[in-house]
Amino acid sequence: AGLRDAYRLCGNQQALAVARELADWLEKTHANLNEEQMQRILAAEHGGMNETLADLYADTGEKRYLALSRRFHHKAILEPLARGEDILPGKHANTQIPKLIGLGTRYELEGDPADRAAANFFWDRVVHHHSYVTGGHCDHEHFGQPDRLNDRLSPMTTETCNVYNMLKLTRHVFGWNPDADVADFYERALLNHIRSTQHPDGRVIYNLSLQPGHHKEYQSPYDGFTCCVGTGMENHVRYGEAIYFHDQDGLWLNLFLASELTWKERGLKLRQETRWPFGDSSEVRFTLEKPQELTLRVRHPYWAKDGLKIRVNGQEQKVDSKPSSFAEVRRTWQNGDRVEIQFPMSLRTESMPDNPKRIAIFYGPTLLAANLGPVQDEAATRPFYVPVLLTGERPVTDWVKPVSLSEVTFKTIGVGRPRDVDLVPFHSLHDRRYTVYLDVFTESEWARREAEIRAEHERERLLAARTLDILRVGEMQPERDHSVKGERTSAGEAMGRKWRHATDGGWFSFEMKVAPDRPADLLCTFWGGETGRRTFDILVDGTKIATHTLLNNKPNQFFDVTYPIPTELTAGKEKVTVKFQAHPDHWAGGLFGARTVLRQAP
């Protein structure tokens, strides 16, 4: 793709020559693979191979490159999508999107309706059934069940590469059928995800966290180069790519972004000036070599419920439009013509598809985040850190009031429990803890929930009083302190917590304190959504005390398991060695935490 861009954008003939040589090598190395073997290869992530090979055909006219593009057609994914089957749940999200972008490119070259059908269906399912209010999608890089997002909020939501690729696909989809709903999504994702993912110092974000009370985690500027660093470099120089579209008849104005457009073939220049999203108007000026008739189609945003007004040279135009449509002005345009567009903004809420009482608050296109405190806020681990709302089912304008409309900042009034919150644009919030989703309760519902939270806090207090030792899994010094050893074992982080596991029959062990004269239990924390072969034995000083299997035990949540340690294994000892031994061809763990505790009296 980089060679393609060097050729197309810079006219670099050497880049085209190298791209052809690479494609020729690829054609030769894959020539003897039958279709079954090829499909087995395509089960692995292969990026946008079908797209770049189709583009190489477009640049050279050599149809063998188009045929090679068709070989990179992953049937297990693309054929069901072409039939209108949502097979996305459980799939790695960003592995799939480039495949559909490639289909879009190929459709534009050869017109196969199955390619367009698959791309359109995929776009619709992701946008309308798998996406959060930011326009991003996925949790831990994978699709979940459609319209089931409430329990999929974590530090690992909404990978940025996915949104980058969805915007690429959206440009294809809009080009085939210029629907305002498609442009609405582009605006949502561009403003509320892409613009949210760059720190003022330049760092970018891999996964944009939507976990209530969490914060944005930026990539290291010097010793990390993930996929999202690469696309992150592109994202913030591509704001101009989808502002305008055209056909023979005229222009579509999709995005209200300060910009200049040059349409050389028509001898037309257009300059747009606006404070969007901090203002509710935009002005467009025409510079023409000669008068000409064309249609200006202005997007009436989905959020502009109070109407759209268009004035040309001060004269209001009669336009027939509604939210999520285009307002058309057709006339013979003159040099110096001025178009004023007003799109009134207002407060509104959007709820989770599977929980109407978990809401996000918007002002116009802007997603508002509750600004909770600094990243290092010591209160973040305490109960009730993330407030809830007791709104009495009143409209949002009754309990959210502006602080500064010019900066799009607001505040809740009298409905937050235990406190009201400042609401600020998510895209401009950095180095702070936040939530973009807030839970709404009635007084009686909150009384019950508050009691549950306090009971959980008391349970944790009592557990701490019984605790003899804690292993903070995956952390360097705590693991050293507990003499962690193992074979085929590794550690990582997921859902905001660190883990350790052993693979392929491997094992890991660690030392834990016990009481020499009192019975103790081993309490382990696991993730309830684990899949695959995960059966393992737990041994204490070489004696097996349990066999456990992890397989969707408690989906989308952590859970604890208590293993009684026989008293003869702890009597007279200050510490024991705990070992997790995977069964043959199985994994042990992941283990997210371990502690030894005094056994409760029956």
Residue-wise pLDDT tens digits, 150-195: 989 988 899 999 999 999 999 999 999 999 999 999 999 999 999 9
Residue from 226, 229, 227 nearest 203 by CA: 229
**Are the C-beta atoms of residues 157 and 208 closer than 8 Å to each other?**
yes
Q: Which pLDDT score is estimated for 8?
A: 95
**Better pLDDT: 1 or 124:** 124
The Cα–Cα gap between 269 and 263 comes to: 6
Whose tokens are 């085929």? That residue is: 488
pLDDT digits 0-9 by tens, 274-304: 999 999 999 999 999 999 999 999 999 999 9
What angle, rounded to 10 degrees, do the helices at 93-110 and 160-176 form?
A: 20
User: What string of H, E and C letters represents the secondary structure of 263-322?
Assistant: EHHHCEEEEEEECCCCCCEEEEEEEECCCEEEEEEEEECCCCCCCCEEEECCEECCCCCC
Residue from 109, 98, 110 nearest 73 by CA: 98
Residue 576 tokens, joined = 């024991």
**Are the C-beta atoms of residues 66 and 49 closer than 8 Å to each other?**
no
**Are the C-beta atoms of residues 438 and 412 closer than 8 Å to each other?**
no
- pLDDT class of 389 with cuts at 50, 70, 90: very high
Residue 297 tokens, joined = 């189609």
The Cα–Cα gap between 102 and 104 comes to: 5
CA-CA-CA-CA dihedral for 215, 219, 223, 224, to nearest 10? 130
The mean-pLDDT minimum among 129-143, 225-239, 261-275, 294-308 falls in: 225-239
The Cα–Cα gap between 55 and 78 comes to: 19
Question: With pLDDT > 90 as the criterion, what percentage of the chain qualifies?
Answer: 87
**Are the C-beta atoms of residues 441 and 388 closer than 8 Å to each other?**
yes
**Going from the N-terminus, what domains does the chain have, and what CATH number goes with each?**
2-238 (1.50.10.10), 246-342 (2.60.40.1180), 465-598 (2.60.120.260)
**Residue 528 phi, psi (nearest 5):** -75, 0
The Cα–Cα gap between 197 and 236 comes to: 9
The Cα–Cα gap between 465 and 26 comes to: 63
**Are the C-beta atoms of residues 136 and 159 closer than 8 Å to each other?**
yes
- pLDDT class of 225 with cuts at 50, 70, 90: confident
Exposed, middle or buried, 272 (CB in 10 Å: 0-12/13-18/19+)? buried
Half-sphere exposure of 313 toward its Cβ, with a 13 Å CA cutoff?
8
Distances (CA, A) of 171 to 112, 243, 542: 18, 10, 60
**Are the C-beta atoms of residues 559 and 526 closer than 8 Å to each other?**
yes
Distance of CA 300 to the CA centre of its chain: 26
pTM of the entire predicted model? 0.83
Q: Which pLDDT score is estimated for 287?
A: 98
- pLDDT class of 368 with cuts at 50, 70, 90: very high
**Are the C-beta atoms of residues 509 and 578 closer than 8 Å to each other?**
yes
Cβ of 395: how many Cβ atoms within 10 Å? 11
The mean-pLDDT minimum among 214-228, 233-247, 551-565 falls in: 214-228
Rg (CA), the chain: 28
Cβ of 71: how many Cβ atoms within 10 Å? 19
Q: Which pLDDT score is estimated for 556?
A: 83
Q: Which pLDDT score is estimated for 200?
A: 95
pLDDT digits 0-9 by tens, 229-247: 888 888 898 999 999 999 9
The Cα–Cα gap between 486 and 506 comes to: 7
**Residue 26 phi, psi (nearest 5):** -65, -45
Contacts of 280 (CB under 8 A, 6+ apart): 342, 343, 344, 345, 364
Cβ of 233: how many Cβ atoms within 10 Å? 13
**Residue 542 phi, psi (nearest 5):** 85, -5
Determine the residue type at 284: V
Whose tokens are 């340690």? That residue is: 565
pLDDT digits 0-9 by tens, 393-447: 999 999 999 999 999 999 999 999 999 999 999 999 999 999 999 999 999 999 9
Whose tokens are 């998510």? That residue is: 426
Residue 159 tokens, joined = 């990978």
The Cα–Cα gap between 103 and 554 comes to: 38
The Cα–Cα gap between 317 and 51 comes to: 43
Whose tokens are 């561009």? That residue is: 190
**Residue 538 phi, psi (nearest 5):** -115, 125
For residues 221-231, give the mean pLDDT. 85
Residue 554 tokens, joined = 């408690």
The Cα–Cα gap between 475 and 45 comes to: 30
The Cα–Cα gap between 148 and 138 comes to: 11
Residue 15 tokens, joined = 């880049």
The Cα–Cα gap between 440 and 391 comes to: 7
Q: Which pLDDT score is estimated for 496?
A: 63
* Number of residues written out for the chain: 602
Q: Which pLDDT score is estimated for 256?
A: 98
The Cα–Cα gap between 188 and 195 comes to: 10
Q: Beta strands 250-253 and 292-300: pairing type?
A: parallel
Q: What is the largest CA-CA distance in the chain?
A: 98
Determine the residue type at 116: R
**Are the C-beta atoms of residues 89 and 129 closer than 8 Å to each other?**
no
- How does the average pLDDT of the chain come out, rounded? 95
